């Protein structure tokens, strides 16, 4: 009798995991846009050292403003066929494929030189937290929200 209970318990656990994976996939599929109000830059030691010059701080502020402006027009469409299409101003600027491991979204771009951030789908499915890392600068963090 005990082996039967173990098999039933294992089967129920597997079913529960599969259901949660399906829920995350359903939450991910759709078109997302950047929430520029969530953008944060966190400098590492090298990045902080480069910001000691007042001109560098001015330049950085200008780059942040320009980046926010360009991100406002950008969308990421995660499709059910596991493809992702990145658009800016209605024009496709990149594409690739995606996989989901738990809540971690992994994107492989068709153009391997295009950098991809670490992405994590929030538990409520309403936000994708992205982190862009640069060892010479630090991290840039920005959220994606579902486009309505």
Q: How far apart are CA 16 and CA 48, in angstroms?
A: 46
Given a cut of 80, is residue 21 above it in pLDDT?
Answer: no
- What's the average model confidence in pLDDT over 59-66? 80
pLDDT of residue 43: 85
Which CATH number is 90's domain given? 2.40.128
pLDDT of residue 35: 96
Q: How far apart are CA 56 and CA 118, in angstroms?
A: 27
pLDDT of residue 94: 94
- What's the average model confidence in pLDDT over 39-65? 81
- What's the average model confidence in pLDDT over 70-86? 95
The number of folded domains in the chain is 1
Band of pLDDT at residue 56, cut at 50, 70 and 90:
confident
Given a cut of 80, is residue 16 above it in pLDDT?
Answer: no
Q: Which domain holds residue 133?
A: 2-146
8 A C-beta contact, residue 73 and residue 85: no
Phi, psi of 11, rounded to the nearest 5 degrees: -65, -40
14: tokens are 């597997």
For the chain, the residue count is 148
């Amino acid at each position: 009798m005990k082996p039967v209970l173990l098999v039933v318990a294992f089967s129920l656990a597997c079913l529960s995991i599969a259901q949660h994976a399906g829920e995350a996939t359903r939450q991910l599929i759709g078109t997302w846009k950047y929430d520029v109000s969530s953008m944060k830059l966190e400098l590492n030691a090298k990045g902080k050292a480069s910001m000691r010059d007042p001109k560098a701080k001015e330049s950085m502020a200008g780059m942040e403003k320009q980046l926010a402006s360009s991100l406002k027009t950008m969308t990421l469409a995660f499709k059910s066929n596991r493809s992702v299409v990145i658009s800016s101003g209605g024009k496709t600027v990149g594409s690739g494929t995606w996989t989901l491991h738990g809540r971690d979204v992994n994107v492989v771009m068709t153009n391997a030189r295009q950098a991809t951030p670490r992405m994590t789908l929030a538990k409520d499915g309403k936000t994708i937290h992205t982190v862009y890392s640069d060892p010479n600068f630090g991290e840039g963090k920005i959220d994606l929200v579902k486009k309505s």
